[in-house]
Chain A
């Protein structure tokens, strides 16, 4: 397929959700009214996200896999000359998988919501109109984050997701939702405004906001002081989003309060924006600054790994009243720690691992949040002690398919070889074991050792969860009323994630073949 067609595909994939969001607010046209306005608007959501998914898949199919380091499907239009902002879009091997992941997860969320409309925990449900509009706006923002090649547009896209996610949590969430939503948006906004200062500093000093030009430059036009300041500001903003310990404290609350769909997208896509920004902006544009901060980033990353795992372990143990959603949220802190460690190694291996772990975490954690949401619907609570009772919930017996899928998600998350979770974390640790030139080897070896210990802890808490949720005694397994096993729509929404988890685990080259050449060009090599 030629580049012009790809270019239109990419532009359409960004514009379509925006138009869809507007359309969701208007009354449905005659002929598309459906059974009820609710049904019509939810179906509208499925249609639009489905169309976007098709667009991105066609885009991926038309992508020239022989040159993944080259920006493809590029559009470059002058938008705001006064601020030197261009509508510059394009994809390469780093952003393409993330685009497809975003479109896929959003589509699955819309599909799931069609059959299982979101309802806040207390009180009547607000009209699903708003829900669909926000979901589509969120999709537009996330897709744009991965597709834009202008620093200011990146900031715009980065900010676009805040409002929809805030309202998704505050309106359709449960528990302490308004507080959690406010905390989410205040933390991330503070981060992103600080990031803006860094982006402006780079843009003003280098005289352009064009990400391709800046990346090709490799920071040669920026003094060391500017690079250090810029990476500090940009890194802080992205670290809040990623999230990096100790800036993660918004995450567990937001996840616990968010509706299932919100959690899936928050963990599956939104967190990736932080790490993607580090790889796309900080790494190539200010390598000197990145070099200065890499050891600190690595140190915080491994602390995050251990901290996340310990928090999960304490939530998983009996009698602690641990909430499963909270547990998965903390596990994200740990997993994103591996991603950050991979980036901080400043090696090709590490960054490839980070990008792989990004995708893997999106698939696996998305699946896990769906599953926990389903458990919460069935049991009315995601409290592990409530679920497991004294002996365990015995899902293998009560709902074997659901139990099996929970077990699959858990072992994939703990990094079992052969599943997606394995490669990313292994490569990240490999990268950290032999860090880039000029970084202290002993320090990084220590970090690697601590991270490896973290994988043990990860295995410990996930196996505990499996034991307590999937296993149990015979009486629980045959208890009445019977627990509904996976329903048709749940099957449809979860199978793609499970299948891709297995596929990425068995055939990592499909992904690494895309990212590796692009990563090589990030480091200025060819």
Chain B
């Protein structure tokens, strides 16, 4: 983790004081990964569930370790006299660490049951290692730490994607992901070496200070270096035209891993891109700015059109749709970066990307959690499997509808709407009218497929057999006696609470008196606690944010970096 600059200049002072409090959010997952791997050796197969709770507790601990860092700016691994630190925990770092660690926590919850089919120890080890990298990435302030962190994030992901043994789709997905990712890293490394050659430094602020004033003959080299580095990151972020690997990888990976990649993987990649554009390569803003705008427009259009073309009866269509939509959302995330270039002061608009990413993380993980829930009864994961979900599992259906409307940016998904408004306002502010208009069209395209899916949830269930799920449709019988009616509705609310409590407290309160009735009524497979918790957390998060959007949108205000 020490920058090579620090090694080279270590002569005057042989030891370095390390600020472990600042490092804790990245170190805890790493230590935990080792603990889990070792513990796995000694645990009998029946008790593997313990690993889940160790992981969840550890990630929660890592989140708690962020609290002492709230005030001020902590930096460590600094050069002795020159300015420049390799690890900085400032406001930007903390927000993104909350995002990635929270995202990893939700992923852990929603994969608690899926691990039964996967090698548990390896799964948790890989997840935690990747989370460690993702937590390190936003804190890194030199290019080597950045690349190392990025690799720590993605390398375990390949294994995670391919973890389902004996599944051809899974290994194919892992191979595709691996090849693109390695290419991306190679390209980025080449770019970084050019930048180093041109500026003689790897620390981002030093690079920024030297770029633009480098000797004339190195000018082209520096520019090419910056461009190559950014192209590498574009690959990792599945920015069009480097997006082709995403749908296959997501569809082939175990569902929680797809959720993890779409949120934590993406957030980590974006934090790297933000650091590169807003800090290191800011002098070249006029060059990468327009390119970023074009990429944003292209990415969102490709992603949304791809999602629109998903056939509802295709196998694993739900995850594929979420994969394409995540490409589209990545396009929106790029818009503030494109607007960034119009500002002389660095870091003016990147906060909007962060705010949008926070919103996206909560609701997208929620959507994946409901998808995981549905895939337990309908393993093919077709979109048509969601038809009539409201009749079977009202709470889960309402939660998914809410998540999808947040992603679409329509009320009642208020937070989605205002996150989009914030993105739009950066584009209008930077006078990128064309980009705003393209994004407007994309929002409409996206609405079509999100709404189609939402409408499916409330559609009539296929066939009479599904329509007659006990309890769920008991209220549709017109002539029943009042007493029987009361019983039925009690049983229904009980079943509702047992399946997936979204609006936590209310539903839970209803479920208690009727829990006996629920045992009789809930014929569906019992929902694992982890899934319920993940859905409930995401739904409560989304609702709270919808009521008080300021919680995330404050990052869109002022300079974040």
Chain A residues close to B by CB (< 8 Å) = 25-27, 30, 33, 35-38, 79-83, 85, 123-124, 126-127, 130, 137, 141, 152, 155-156, 159-160, 162-163, 166-167, 170-171, 178, 182, 185-186, 189-190, 193-194, 196-197, 200-201, 203-204, 229
Asked if A82 contacts B556 (CB within 8 A), the reply is: yes
9 A–B contacts from the bound complex (CB under 8 Å): A27-B492, A30-B486, A37-B485, A83-B556, A156-B411, A159-B417, A162-B411, A186-B448, A203-B425
Asked if A83 contacts B510 (CB within 8 A), the reply is: no
B407 within 8 A of A: no
B555: chain A residues at CB < 8 Å are 82
B398: chain A residues at CB < 8 Å are 25
Asked if A186 contacts B444 (CB within 8 A), the reply is: yes
Main secondary structure, interface of B, reads helix
A83: chain B residues at CB < 8 Å are 418, 421-422, 425, 549, 553, 556-557
Within 8 A of A (CB), among B449-487: 451-452, 455, 458, 460, 475-476, 478, 480, 482, 485-486
Of B451, B485, B489, B550, chain A has the most CB atoms within 10 Å of the CB of B451
Residue from A130, A204, A229 in contact with B429 in the complex, judged by beta carbons closer than 8 Å? A204
B50 within 8 A of A: no
Chain A nearest Cβ from B556, distance in angstroms = 5
Asked if A156 contacts B414 (CB within 8 A), the reply is: yes
Asked if A37 contacts B424 (CB within 8 A), the reply is: no
Asked if B448 contacts A171 (CB within 8 A), the reply is: no
B73 within 8 A of A: no
Of A25, A35, A80, A204, chain B has the most CB atoms within 10 Å of the CB of A80
Asked if B421 contacts A200 (CB within 8 A), the reply is: yes
CB nearest neighbor in B for A196? B424
Asked if A189 contacts B556 (CB within 8 A), the reply is: no
CA distance A171 to B388 in the complex (A): 13
Asked if A26 contacts B475 (CB within 8 A), the reply is: no
A203: chain B residues at CB < 8 Å are 425
Knowing A159-B417, A186-B448, A189-B447 are in contact, say whether A201-B428 is a contact too (CB < 8 A).
yes
Beyond known contacts A155-B421, A167-B455, A178-B455: 14 more, CB 8 A cutoff: A30-B486, A80-B550, A82-B422, A83-B418, A83-B425, A83-B556, A152-B418, A166-B455, A193-B443, A194-B440, A196-B440, A197-B433, A197-B437, A204-B428
Knowing A33-B486, A37-B489, A127-B476 are in contact, say whether A197-B428 is a contact too (CB < 8 A).
yes
CA distance A130 to B444 in the complex (A): 25
CA distance A415 to B381 in the complex (A): 57
CA distance A167 to B425 in the complex (A): 30
- Interface size, B (range): 35 or more
B478: chain A residues at CB < 8 Å are 36, 38
Within 8 A of A (CB), among B394-453: 398, 405, 410-412, 414, 417-418, 421-422, 424-425, 428-429, 433, 436-437, 440-441, 443-444, 447-448, 451-452
B554 within 8 A of A: yes
B480: chain A residues at CB < 8 Å are 36
B554: chain A residues at CB < 8 Å are 81-82
Asked if A182 contacts B440 (CB within 8 A), the reply is: no
Asked if B475 contacts A127 (CB within 8 A), the reply is: yes
B17 within 8 A of A: no
Mark contacts of B484-515 with chain A using CB atoms, 8 A cut-off: 1 yes-contact digit, 0 otherwise.
01100110110000000000001000100000
Asked if A182 contacts B451 (CB within 8 A), the reply is: yes
Chain B nearest Cβ from A222, distance in angstroms = 14
A229: chain B residues at CB < 8 Å are 433
CA distance A201 to B492 in the complex (A): 49
A130: chain B residues at CB < 8 Å are 458
Main secondary structure, interface of A, reads helix
CA distance A171 to B457 in the complex (A): 12
Knowing A82-B556, A163-B405 are in contact, say whether A141-B411 is a contact too (CB < 8 A).
yes
CB nearest neighbor in A for B477? A36
Residue from A30, A159, A200 in contact with B411 in the complex, judged by beta carbons closer than 8 Å? A159
CA distance A30 to B490 in the complex (A): 11
Asked if B440 contacts A193 (CB within 8 A), the reply is: yes
Chain B nearest Cβ from A333, distance in angstroms = 23
CB nearest neighbor in A for B550? A80
Chain A nearest Cβ from B441, distance in angstroms = 7
B458: chain A residues at CB < 8 Å are 126, 130, 167, 171
Asked if B493 contacts A27 (CB within 8 A), the reply is: yes
A193: chain B residues at CB < 8 Å are 440, 443-444
Asked if A189 contacts B482 (CB within 8 A), the reply is: no
Mark contacts of B530-561 with chain A using CB atoms, 8 A cut-off: 1 yes-contact digit, 0 otherwise.
00000000000000000001100111110000
Chain A nearest Cβ from B219, distance in angstroms = 36
B425: chain A residues at CB < 8 Å are 83, 200, 203-204
Knowing A38-B478, A186-B447, A193-B444 are in contact, say whether A163-B410 is a contact too (CB < 8 A).
yes
Asked if B421 contacts A159 (CB within 8 A), the reply is: no
CA distance A191 to B243 in the complex (A): 30
Asked if A200 contacts B424 (CB within 8 A), the reply is: yes
Knowing A26-B506, A127-B475 are in contact, say whether A162-B489 is a contact too (CB < 8 A).
no
Asked if B460 contacts A123 (CB within 8 A), the reply is: yes
Knowing A83-B421, A197-B424 are in contact, say whether A159-B410 is a contact too (CB < 8 A).
yes
Chain B nearest Cβ from A33, distance in angstroms = 7
Residue from B436, B451, B486 in contact with A197 in the complex, judged by beta carbons closer than 8 Å? B436
Chain A nearest Cβ from B433, distance in angstroms = 8
